[in-house]
Structure 1
Amino acid sequence: MTSVLYDVPGPRAIARNRILAVVTILVVLAAIGFIVFRMVETGQFSAEKWYVFTFANVWMGIVKALGNTLAAFALAAVLSLVLGFVLAIGRLSDHAWVRVPVTVVTELFRAVPVLVFMMLLYYGLPVVGVKMEPYWAVVIALMAYNGSVLAEVIRAGVESLPKGQKEAGYAIGLRKSGVMRLILLPQAIRAMLPVVVAQLVVTMKDTALGFIITYPELLYYAKQLTSQQGRPILQSAFVIGGIYIVLCLILAGIAKWVEVRTRRSTKVRGIDAAVGPDPRTHEDGTNTELIALQRGVGKYDGTSTGG
């Protein structure tokens, strides 16, 4: 018996896979057990190590640092998306005098590491008489790098669409701007949404690089906590790392919700446009056959099933 993509494993292969799965689980559990054992041996779970987190002022400082992290991320994310759209449209231009400079700028921003960009803005600009606050150095560096990456994502999404999409837009009289805005970009964004979200998660995590230029975000505050009584280095890393994990999960959840809503609304609009209004729609606006069609459990053939 075979599957579409691969051969179904036989009894010996199934037994071998089960043995490998058991061995892998045992190795992982052994590694976790060793780490926990070493932490117990070195007193990482002692009250002294966690004593600093019993103070309300410490948690107020964490909340303030979290606010600084979110402030930098929010503005950088919005500006990155705007810059990504601008650079992507520029790279898709038919005019060489637009496409070539935009390509050079995009590749330049992608080539410079975020930390180097931050240090150039914060430490380099004062050399020429321009002083920049750490917040703006973080935001601009994140915007430049992530915006250039998103530009390539959007461009790849547009170019991956069938050429018939663009030709159909031109056939009904749309200009290139209309084809891009009404046909290509919406489809490309829906297709590339997981990649866009992944890049925004990278943007959020890269705000931690701001501690190098003394921006008071979460990692900067965690570094300050490590010098407190008991030197809670691992404890601070666990707390701050847990906050970053929660933030990334929230962002991924929001993106998943948007993706589901977008697909659902697009599917419903496509069905309504193809079927059109039905005179047999009930007074409350529902139509049993259309509902069945949307759910994939029935087939609408234009005939009434009623008596």
Structure 2
Amino acid sequence: MSASVLYDAPGPKAATRNRIYAVVGSLAIIALISVGLMRLADKGHLAPEMWDIFNYSGIRQNIADGVLATLKAFGLAAIGSLIFGVVLAVGRLSDHKPVRWAATTFIELFRSIPLLITIYAIWVGFLTDYSMWALALGLSIYNGSVQAEVLRAGINSVPKGQSEAAYALGMSKTQVMVSVLMPQAVRAMLPTIISQLVVTLKDTSLGFIILYPELLQTARLIAANTQVNGQYAYVSTIAVIGTIYVAMCLLLSALATWIEKRGRRAKTGIAVATAAETPGAIPAGGLTVPPAEDPAVGPDADADEGTGKKG
């Protein structure tokens, strides 16, 4: 059986050349990292004293408070962006032109405006005394507009035959959207939705512009107010805070992977459970198939016993 490929398999010369390129590229990256570390070490940024500042309970408590503030803003923004995304996606797919135009205008407007300007405008104009809500609302509006386009693409990817079949069963448009289209769109676009949530988590760092005490603002305050050997601890603080951001994003991605696997397992487990609950049934493609009737105990055998006939 012939199989189509996107590219030809490299020959011996090409494979050797690729290995050489990989080795040279790796050595170049290692050299750049080494030069950077040597320059930092020469300036004293890698001295042990620079890292001992994180042994102080006050600094650790400030970092913990910054992480908690970041997660609060992210939680509100994640929920808000998903709500905005669903509402705007449904509005953009509406049969009513005014609703469709309003949703389209909202999405294109706030996707075009820089997020920093949106957050700052909301904080200055409406929520000056509530920086957390200003940050969460700005993130919800921008990321909700992006999530709306993701969900709209997922809904449009569902085969039209499914919605037509639902309409043929007498379901309303709302029922079709809620029960048929939206669940499949979310399942299909879940990786993209989670990727945008990771972006939302990182964008909480923009809260520093409105003086919200999130993780980046906390890092700036720690680095600007901590001196070791006459130098500010910017490098060590950036390294620690950057590691925390990476860890939070990895945990969010791992949670998304777990949710996706659990959804697949649950979808498969429904058919298995149904088959197991039926005595003598055999699962086949999500359906329960009863075993073939034994001729000795079938209906004809019962009829023969009632009449006293023997085969």
Measured against the shorter chain, the TM-score band is 0.7 to 0.9
C-alpha distance in 2 between matches for 1:210 and 1:243? 17
| Equivalent of 1:224 in 203, 221, 226 | 221
C-alpha distance in 2 between matches for 1:26 and 1:47? 28
Structure 1 length normalisation: TM-score? 0.86
Which letter does structure 1 place at the counterpart of 2:218? Y
Q: Which stretch shows the higher mean deviation, 194-203 or 161-170?
A: 161-170
> Aligned pair 1:178/2:162, yes or no?
no
| Equivalent of 1:148 in 130, 140, 145 | 145
Pair 1:293–1:124, CA change in 2 (3 A) = closer
Aligned length: 286
Shift of 1:102: 1.3
- 8 Å contact 1:121–1:132 — kept in the other structure? no
- What is the 5 A alignment of 1:121-200? 121-125=122-126, 131-200=128-197
C-alpha distance in 1 between matches for 2:256 and 2:179? 22
Identity of aligned residues (%): 44
- 8 Å contact 1:2–1:8 — kept in the other structure? no
Tell me what 1:47 maps to: 48
Shift of 1:132: 3.9
C-alpha distance in 2 between matches for 1:183 and 1:2? 36
Tell me what 1:100 maps to: 101
Tell me what 1:256 maps to: 257
Shift of 1:270: 5.6
C-alpha distance in 1 between matches for 2:268 and 2:237? 47
Note the alpha carbon deviations across 1:4-40, whole angstroms, 9 max, x for none. 3332222222212212221221112112212222222
> Aligned pair 1:87/2:88, yes or no?
yes
Q: Which stretch shows the higher mean deviation, 167-176 or 96-105?
A: 167-176
Tell me what 2:34 maps to: 33
Shift of 1:271: 6.8
Note the alpha carbon deviations across 1:68-108, whole angstroms, 9 max, x for none. 11111101111111111011111111111211111111111
C-alpha distance in 2 between matches for 1:164 and 1:53? 60
- 8 Å contact 2:215–2:241 — kept in the other structure? yes
Pair 1:271–1:103, CA change in 2 (3 A) = farther
Which letter does structure 2 place at the counterpart of 1:137? A
Pair 1:171–1:198, CA change in 2 (3 A) = same
Q: Which stretch shows the higher mean deviation, 172-181 or 144-153?
A: 172-181
C-alpha distance in 2 between matches for 1:270 and 1:279? 14
- 8 Å contact 1:68–1:217 — kept in the other structure? yes
Q: Which stretch shows the higher mean deviation, 16-25 or 139-148?
A: 16-25
RMSD, matched Cα: 2.4
C-alpha distance in 2 between matches for 1:163 and 1:2? 31
Q: Which stretch shows the higher mean deviation, 30-39 or 187-196?
A: 30-39
Which letter does structure 1 place at the counterpart of 2:181? L
C-alpha distance in 2 between matches for 1:271 and 1:108? 48
Structure 2 length normalisation: TM-score? 0.85
> Aligned pair 1:244/2:245, yes or no?
yes
Note the alpha carbon deviations across 1:106-156, whole angstroms, 9 max, x for none. 11121221110111122244xxxx744111110110011011110110001
C-alpha distance in 1 between matches for 2:197 and 2:243? 18
Q: Secondary structure at the match of 1:226?
A: helix
Shift of 1:161: 1.8
- 8 Å contact 1:52–1:229 — kept in the other structure? no
* Structure 2 unaligned residues grouped into runs of 5+: 293-311
Higher relative contact order (CA 8 A, sep 6+): 1
Q: Which stretch shows the higher mean deviation, 88-97 or 32-41?
A: 32-41
C-alpha distance in 2 between matches for 1:232 and 1:176? 59
Shift of 1:267: 3.2
Tell me what 2:66 maps to: 65
C-alpha distance in 2 between matches for 1:139 and 1:147? 11
Which letter does structure 1 place at the counterpart of 2:116? L
Larger radius of gyration: 2
